[in-house]
Amino acid sequence: MDKLRKKQLEAIQVVEERIKQWIDFERDYEVLLERLNSLPKKLSANIMVPIGKVAYIPGQLYRTNEVLAFLGDNWFAERTTYQVCYIVEHRLQGITC
């Protein structure tokens, strides 16, 4: 019985970790969607550009309505922020089902 209980607890822990991972994915997609909705409202955006792992310098994004979208299986496509918002909403629906 102890072996069975131990296996069940391990399985529960694995499932809880996966649930946490999917919750993190959902939160990340929601933040991305919010950012994508704000980008087309202006022509450029001020950002902090990462230089290495710990350093950042101020920079600026131009043409903020164009985004390189990950389509899956190492395929990328240049899309408008409106089109990418649709992709992100579709992915969010897959997470919340």
2-96 in CATH: which number?
1.10.287.370
Neighbours of 65 (CB within 10 A): 14
Q: What is the pLDDT of residue 36?
A: 84
b/e for 20-51, b at 16 or more Cβ within 10 A?
eeeeeeeeebeebbeebeebeeeeeeeeeeee
Pairing of strands 55-62, 44-51: antiparallel
57, 49 Cβ separation under 8 angstroms:
yes
Identify which has the larger pLDDT, 13 or 80.
Answer: 13
Q: What is the pLDDT of residues 43-97, one digit of tens each?
A: 788 889 999 888 999 999 888 788 889 888 999 999 888 888 888 898 888 887 5
Indicate whether this model's pTM tops 0.75. no
- Give the domain ranges of the chain: 2-96
SS3 73: coil
